[in-house]
Structure 1
Amino acid sequence: MIRFSAVLLRSDIVKAALAASLLAVTTLHAPDAKAQAAEDAPLRVGKTFIAAATDPAQGSAGWALVSHGIADQLFRVDRDGRLVGNLATDATRIDDLTWQVTLAPDRLFSDGSPVTAQAVADSLNRTVAENPAARASAGALTFEAQSESLLTITSERPTPVMPSILAEWAFPVYLYAGGDLHFTGPFMIADFTPGARLDLKPNPHYPQADSRNPVQITRVADGQALALALRAGEIDLAFHLPVESRAMLQASGDIAVTSFPVEYQYMMWMNTASDALGDARVRRAIDLAIDREALIAAARAGRVAHGAFSQVFPFSADEPARHDAQAAAALLDEAGWIRDGDGPRMRDGETLSLTLVAYPQRPDLVTYQPVIRAALADLGIEVTTRITESPTDMARAGEFDLFLWAQHTAPAGDPGFFLLLFLGSEGANNYSGWSSAAFDALLADLAQTSDPQARNLIAREAQALIAEEAPVAFLVTPEWHVGKSARLAEYEPWGSDYYVIRSDFGLRE
Structure 2
Amino acid sequence: MSSKFLSRLGATWFATAVMSTAAACFAAEPLRVGATYITSGTDPAKGSNGWALTSHGVGENLFTVDRDGKLVPELADKAERNDDLSWTITLQPGRAFSDGSPVTAKALAAGFDNTFANNKAALATGGKLSFAAVDDLTLKVTTEKPVPYIQALFAEWPLVAYTPAANGEALYTGPYSIAAFKTDASITLAPNAHFAGADSRSPVEFRKFGDAQSMTLALESGELDLAFGLPSEVVSRLKTNPDLTIKSFPVGYQYLAFLNTTRPLLADVKVRQALDLAFDRTELAAAINGGEPATGAYAAYFPFAGKNARVTDLDKAAALLEEAGWTKGSNGSREKDGKPLRLLAITYPQRPDLVTMLPVVKAQLARVGVELDTQVVESIQQVASAGDFDIALWAQHTAPSGDPAFFLNSMLRTGASLNYAKYASPEFDAILDRFASESEPDARVSIALDAQDKLFEDVPASFLVSPVWYVGVSKRLENYQPWGSDYHVLRADIGEAK
TM bin, normalised by shorter chain, reads: over 0.9
Whether 1:500 aligns to 2:489 is yes
- Specify the alignment match of 1:387 in structure 2: 376
- Specify the alignment match of 2:476 in structure 1: 487
Give the direction of change, closer, same or farther, for the CA distance of 1:154–1:332 in structure 2 (3 Å limit): same
Distance (whole Å) between structure 2 residues aligned to residue 355 and residue 171 of structure 1 = 34
What is the CA deviation profile of residues 440-472 of structure 1, one whole-angstrom value per residue up to 9, with x for unaligned ones?
001111121111100000000000000100000
- Specify the alignment match of 1:73 in structure 2: 61
Mapping 1:37-52, distance limit 5 Å? 40-52=28-40
Whether 1:169 aligns to 2:162 is no
- Aligned with residue 79 of structure 2, among 87, 91, 97: 91
Q: Please give the secondary structure, in 1, of the residue aligned with 2:407.
A: helix
For structure 1, list consecutive stretches of 5 or more residues without a partner in the other structure: 1-36
Query: Aligned partner of 1:315: which letter?
Result: F
Matched residue count:
473
Shift of residue 246, structure 1, vs aligned partner: 1.4
- Specify the alignment match of 1:330 in structure 2: 319
Shift of residue 284, structure 1, vs aligned partner: 0.7
Q: Please give the secondary structure, in 2, of the residue aligned with 1:392.
A: helix
Shift of residue 139, structure 1, vs aligned partner: 0.5
Distance (whole Å) between structure 2 residues aligned to residue 291 and residue 39 of structure 1 = 53
- Specify the alignment match of 1:28 in structure 2: none
Shift of residue 100, structure 1, vs aligned partner: 0.4
What is the CA deviation profile of residues 42-93 of structure 1, one whole-angstrom value per residue up to 9, with x for unaligned ones?
0000001110011121010000010000011111100100111111000001
Distance (whole Å) between structure 2 residues aligned to residue 449 and residue 57 of structure 1 = 29
- Aligned with residue 175 of structure 2, among 186, 210, 229: 186
- Aligned with residue 441 of structure 1, among 423, 430, 435: 430
Distance (whole Å) between structure 2 residues aligned to residue 417 and residue 441 of structure 1 = 15
- Specify the alignment match of 1:369 in structure 2: 358
- Specify the alignment match of 1:58 in structure 2: 46
Mapping 1:99-138, distance limit 5 Å? 99-138=87-126
Query: Aligned partner of 1:358: which letter?
Result: T
- Aligned with residue 307 of structure 1, among 284, 290, 296: 296
Distance (whole Å) between structure 2 residues aligned to residue 484 and residue 221 of structure 1 = 19
Q: Answer yes or no: is the 8 Å Cα contact 1:339–1:380 preserved in 2.
A: yes
Query: Aligned partner of 1:100: which letter?
Result: T
Distance (whole Å) between structure 2 residues aligned to residue 276 and residue 251 of structure 1 = 48
- Specify the alignment match of 1:31 in structure 2: none
Q: Please give the secondary structure, in 2, of the residue aligned with 1:146.
A: strand
TM-score where L is the length of structure 2: 0.93
Shift of residue 248, structure 1, vs aligned partner: 2.0
What is the CA deviation profile of residues 145-183 of structure 1, one whole-angstrom value per residue up to 9, with x for unaligned ones?
000100010100001010100011111111202202110
Distance (whole Å) between structure 1 residues aligned to residue 68 and residue 485 of structure 2 = 12
TM-score where L is the length of structure 1: 0.91
Deviation >6 Å, runs of 4+: none
Query: Aligned partner of 2:400: which letter?
Result: P
Give the direction of change, closer, same or farther, for the CA distance of 1:73–1:125 in structure 2 (3 Å limit): same
Distance (whole Å) between structure 1 residues aligned to residue 313 and residue 239 of structure 2 = 39
Distance (whole Å) between structure 2 residues aligned to residue 354 and residue 321 of structure 1 = 22
Query: Aligned partner of 2:140: which letter?
Result: T
For structure 2, list consecutive stretches of 5 or more residues without a partner in the other structure: 1-24
Whether 1:156 aligns to 2:131 is no
Distance (whole Å) between structure 2 residues aligned to residue 116 and residue 91 of structure 1 = 15
Distance (whole Å) between structure 2 residues aligned to residue 259 and residue 288 of structure 1 = 30
- Specify the alignment match of 1:423 in structure 2: 412
Distance (whole Å) between structure 2 residues aligned to residue 429 and residue 199 of structure 1 = 30
Give the direction of change, closer, same or farther, for the CA distance of 1:188–1:38 in structure 2 (3 Å limit): closer
Distance (whole Å) between structure 1 residues aligned to residue 48 and residue 282 of structure 2 = 31
Distance (whole Å) between structure 2 residues aligned to residue 167 and residue 75 of structure 1 = 5
- Specify the alignment match of 2:20 in structure 1: none
Distance (whole Å) between structure 1 residues aligned to residue 363 and residue 233 of structure 2 = 22
Whether 1:268 aligns to 2:257 is yes
Shift of residue 342, structure 1, vs aligned partner: 4.1
- Specify the alignment match of 2:12 in structure 1: none
Mapping 1:268-287, distance limit 5 Å? 268-287=257-276
Q: Answer yes or no: is the 8 Å Cα contact 1:491–1:506 preserved in 2.
A: no
Distance (whole Å) between structure 1 residues aligned to residue 317 and residue 27 of structure 2 = 59
Query: Aligned partner of 1:203: which letter?
Result: N
Distance (whole Å) between structure 1 residues aligned to residue 489 and residue 27 of structure 2 = 21
Shift of residue 38, structure 1, vs aligned partner: 11
Q: Please give the secondary structure, in 2, of the residue aligned with 1:336.
A: coil
Shift of residue 340, structure 1, vs aligned partner: 3.1
Structure index of larger Rg: 1
Query: Aligned partner of 2:383: which letter?
Result: M
Q: Answer yes or no: is the 8 Å Cα contact 2:175–2:198 preserved in 1.
A: yes
- Specify the alignment match of 1:17 in structure 2: none
Q: CA RMSD in A?
A: 1.3
Shift of residue 343, structure 1, vs aligned partner: 2.7
Q: Please give the secondary structure, in 2, of the residue aligned with 1:394.
A: helix
Q: Answer yes or no: is the 8 Å Cα contact 2:203–2:495 preserved in 1.
A: no
Q: Answer yes or no: is the 8 Å Cα contact 2:190–2:204 preserved in 1.
A: yes
What is the CA deviation profile of residues 482-507 of structure 1, one whole-angstrom value per residue up to 9, with x for unaligned ones?
00001101100000001110110122
Percent identical pairs in the alignment equals: 48
Give the direction of change, closer, same or farther, for the CA distance of 1:508–1:213 in structure 2 (3 Å limit): closer
Query: Aligned partner of 2:144: which letter?
Result: E
Distance (whole Å) between structure 2 residues aligned to residue 247 and residue 409 of structure 1 = 29
What is the CA deviation profile of residues 174-232 of structure 1, one whole-angstrom value per residue up to 9, with x for unaligned ones?
12022021100000000001221000000011111000110011011211111110110
Distance (whole Å) between structure 1 residues aligned to residue 239 and residue 369 of structure 2 = 43
- Aligned with residue 340 of structure 2, among 329, 335, 351: 351
Shift of residue 125, structure 1, vs aligned partner: 1.0
Distance (whole Å) between structure 2 residues aligned to residue 39 and residue 262 of structure 1 = 35
